[in-house]
Amino acid sequence: MSLPDVICVGDLDVDLYIAVPFIPGFDQKIAGRNIGQKPGGMAANAAVAFARLGRNARLIAAVGDDAQGAETLARLGADGVDLSFVVQRKGVSTFMCVVLLSPSGEKSLIRLETEAYLPLPGDLVPKAFEGIRHVHSTYGSPDLTAMAFKMAVDRGMTTSLDLEPPDVQNAPERVSTILPFVNTLFLNREGAEAASAALGTSLHPGLLRPNGEIIITLGAAGCRRISAEGATDVPGFDVRPIDTTGAGDCFAGAYLTRRLEGANATDALQFANAAAALATLDFGAQTAMPRREAVEDLVAQSGRYFL
Give the Cα separation of 282 and 105 in Å (integer).
10
Burial class (CB in 10 A: 0-12, 13-18, 19+), 27: exposed
Helices (H) and strands (E) in the chain, counts: 9, 14
Residue 254's pLDDT band, with cuts at 50, 70 and 90, is very high
| pLDDT tens figures, 50-89 | 999 999 999 999 999 999 999 999 999 999 999 999 999 9
The CATH label, of 3.40.1190.20, 3.50.50.60, 3.30.720.200, 3.30.565.10, for the domain at 6-12+41-96+114-302 is 3.40.1190.20
- CB atoms under 10 Å from CB of 267, counted, come to 19
The domain segmentation of the chain, as residue ranges, is 6-12+41-96+114-302
| pLDDT tens figures, 214-234 | 999 999 999 999 999 999 999
Query: Quick one: average pLDDT of 36-62?
Result: 96
Q: For position 306, what pLDDT does the model report?
A: 43
Report the percentage of the chain scoring pLDDT > 90: 85
